[in-house]
Amino acid sequence: MGKRVLVTELIPQSIKELLEQEVEVETWDSSEQMPRELLLQKIKDKHGFITGKDKIDDELLEAGNQLEVVSNVSVGYDNYDVDAIKRHQILATHTPYVLDETVADLIFGLILSAARRITELDKYVKDGKWQASIDQSLFGHNVHHKKLGIIGLGRIGEKVAKRATLGFEMDVSYYNRSRNDQAEKELGVTYASFQDIITNSDFILLMTPLTKETYHLIDQAAFEQMKKTCFFINASRGAVVDEKALIQALLDKKIAGAGLDVFEKEPIDPKNPLLEMDNVVTLPHIGSATAETRKAMKEFAANNCLQALRGEEPEAVIKELK
């Protein structure tokens, strides 16, 4: 009997055919998440699981006791219960690399939109308010030659730093648990303390993964120390920020504005005060959401799954789970 794979992400026909060359494939042809009870039933006879949002925990792994690999269509793996996966001793993969440039483009879009008030002024024009030259109260802020502080200079952070230094001649500093000597040499970025990033940056970009250690890393104390002209950009995970503290900082004008692609609760609550603020750009977690990149991610996830089921080591096993 051949290996069987469940796919709960919408995949193009070409990727389904790629999988079907080697395994039996069952797909969930809906953009809505598969109901949990149905998932626990479907997973019972599967050897591989390709997903992007389903929770991988003891309950699922006990139901899917034939599973050999879970393959996430994502770089992050917040949906993975790391301890449970280790206990069940199965392979867990993700899809780094292929989305780096796309997410970096989006981040720079957030920086420019927040600083130059692009979404706010777009609405201003569409609402028929543009009757004469705009008043100084609607002026934005420069991006070029400003100081960008990146908290978490991984692959995507490097791509942003390259755009910032070469395209906008920004002064880029970064904070990591360890120094990135190659980025310092090639991009001219400067290593700085967390405190220096928080207190001296004109733009702060948060790019750290969500872990027990980084939960609410950016809290009230951090916002209190930022420059009043600072723009805060988050394209990592919502829970790395204390969202209540961010809202209060914006209400109290402790910072100039924010560009957000992620939130503590997703989808965001329609009553969230962030949605009422003109100086906040809010996006629906679209960092990698281009047709080209999402297809590449799904193909990567499919190949990770197939490699594991062949008995090979997948290209992108999550290091924490090796």
Active-site positions read 237, 266, 285
281 three-class SS: strand
CA dist 237 and 262 (Å) reads 6
Work out the number of other CB atoms within 10 angstroms of the CB of residue 293: 19
Q: Distance between alpha carbon 145 and the CA centroid of its chain, in Å? A: 26
How does strand 91-93 pair with strand 48-51? Answer: unpaired
CA dist 240 and 78 (Å) reads 12
CA dist 15 and 217 (Å) reads 38
Cβ pair 206, 174 in contact under 8 A: no
CA angle at 99 for the pair 14 and 117, rounded to the nearest 5°:
125
DSSP letters spanning 283-314: --S-TT-SHHHHHHHHHHHHHHHHHHHTTSPP
Fill in the amino acid letter for 52. Answer: G
Q: What is the DSSP letter of 136?
A: G
